[in-house]
Amino acid sequence: MKKLMIVALMTLCGVTTLLAQKTVVSQKAQQEDPFNVVEQMPEFPGGMEGMMTFMKDNMKYPEDAEKQKVEGRVLVQFIVEKDGSLSNVKVLRSVFPSLDAEAVRVVKAMPKWKAGRQKGEPVRVKYTIPIMFKLK
């Protein structure tokens, strides 16, 4: 349980850093391409606190990684769709196969997010979160 709390706190720090990059940029690509940054970024239900609770309640440290004392930060990228569902979940920065798989599993299990908005309209937004795995 202590391990998960540490992982959750470290994830919060990383996510907070990513959210600090909220700036408005113009869309030059096709409308169907996801934005990288929008006026109103997507948000997990309950905000950062809700995401941390979700991570703490749903993440499990893989046994093989725990036995081998593997730690690290997995970067997971996904698209928050116009309806708030998540798609295209993938690992951008790998640490260890079972840690990568657990990070993807937890992201795929997330409930729908509040969609990102540009000019008042819901849009697809590419989103990246770091998920820390740290042993105590």
**pLDDT of 67-95, one tens digit each?**
999 999 999 999 999 999 999 999 999 99
What pLDDT is recorded for position 69?
A: 96
Q: For domain 2-133, is the CATH number 3.30.1150?
A: yes
Mean pLDDT across the chain, nearest whole number? 85
Strands (E), the chain: 72-80, 86-93, 116-118, 121-123, 125-133
Using a pLDDT cut of 90, give the percent of the chain over it.
Answer: 75
Contact of 109 with 62, CB cutoff 8 Å: no
pLDDT of 4 > 60? The answer is no
Distance CA 108, CA 88 (A): 10
CA atoms within 13 A on the CB side of 110: 31
Among 55, 56, 50, 46, CA closest to 76: 55
**pTM of the complete model:** 0.76
Give the residue among 46, 41, 45 at the shortest CA–CA distance from 20: 41
